[in-house]
Amino acid sequence: MDVKQRLRSIYASIWVGWEIESNWTDPFIFIGLQIIRPLASTLLFPLLYIVGMNFTGQPVDAEYLSYIFIGTAFLTPYIFAAEAGGTIVAQDRERYGVMKSIYITSSSLTTYFFGRFLAIAAISLVSTLFSTIISYMFIVYAVGHQLQINLSNPLYTLTALASLYIGSLSIFYLLPSINFLTNKLQWSLTYYFLGLLYLLGDILFPVQSLNPFAAPFKYILPINQALNSMRASLGMNVEANTLYAFFISSVWVAFSFYIFKKAVREARARGLLDKIGWW
């Protein structure tokens, strides 16, 4: 496939992704899924922390509040990628019945999934920015707690944001790779994965605070480095290396592409690309 044809395939996939994921034809669903839900997700843990400290009569640590605020706000790209990646195979193979048809075209499932991811990334970017700004204003002006956030280096912040999206791309390929070979996890895999991220991803607490033996996850998982780079870019005193965040995210993307192609070949050999039902 030449470059022009591949770009046309990606554009078509982006449009399909926008039509399916945005729910733009139903304003109430669009507002609920793309605006209200990310906003609630961003506010949940910071408000729980504030309420818990007030309930026990302890002072709210502005540094830790900022830590969990940034962690939950910029987890949104991973949430969107995991939700879409965890269900795309079930939708296209069983609900719409188009998976096999896409596979036998001149395009490829890798290209198709990349276009679908770009649509998800665009939607999640809007949701992330909106929920972050509104949540910040709510915590600072309505609840009355300061956040130690300072946008002093926008370029650094954009670089950290880019590494977050690169890492989320790997998830968008890894979760479907599992669902190609079984349909027993297609509606629950996303929640297993997100639960693991909350535990190991430096979202609510540094992973090494669980156990010193868990410290290597800080350097293995792409989200840890990306979130800490985001925190550092916003003025927090945390250990971060943006170049390493880019590197480890890129390694995960390369690994996910390899696993994805292996899974597609295995699914094709076993006749699973158009198999429906419980198996």
CB 226 within 8 A of CB 248: no
Residue 7, C-beta contacts closer than 8 angstroms, at least 6 positions apart: none
**Residue 270 DSSP code:** T
CA distance 245 to 237: 17
Distance CA(185)–CA(188), nearest Å, equals: 5
Q: Can you tell me the distance from the alpha carbon of 157 to that of 230, in angstroms, rounded to the nearest whole number?
A: 6
Query: Which amino acid, 117?
Result: F
CA angle 115, 119, 125 (to 5 degrees): 135
Rounded to an integer, what distance in angstroms lies between the CA atom of residue 33 and that of residue 1?
36
Q: Could you tell me where the DSSP H helices lie in the chain?
A: 3-22, 27-31, 37-56, 62-73, 76-90, 99-103, 109-137, 154-181, 189-200, 217-220, 222-233, 242-269
Of residues 169, 183, 167, the one with CA closest to residue 99? 183
* Cβ neighbours, 10 Å, residue 142: 8
Tens of pLDDT along the chain (279 residues) come to 678 888 888 999 999 888 888 776 676 777 777 788 899 999 999 999 999 999 999 999 999 999 999 999 999 999 999 999 998 998 888 877 777 777 777 668 899 999 999 999 999 999 999 999 999 999 999 999 999 999 888 999 999 999 999 999 999 999 999 999 988 887 789 999 999 999 999 999 999 998 889 999 999 999 999 999 999 999 999 998 999 999 999 999 999 999 999 999 999 888 888 777 654
Nearest to 222 by CA among 258, 252, 196, 192: 252
Model pLDDT, residue 183? 83
CB distance 131 to 29 below 8 Å = no
Query: Residue 74's pLDDT is what?
Result: 97
Q: Give the pLDDT confidence score for residue 42 in this predicted structure.
A: 95
Q: What is the pLDDT of residue 152?
A: 83
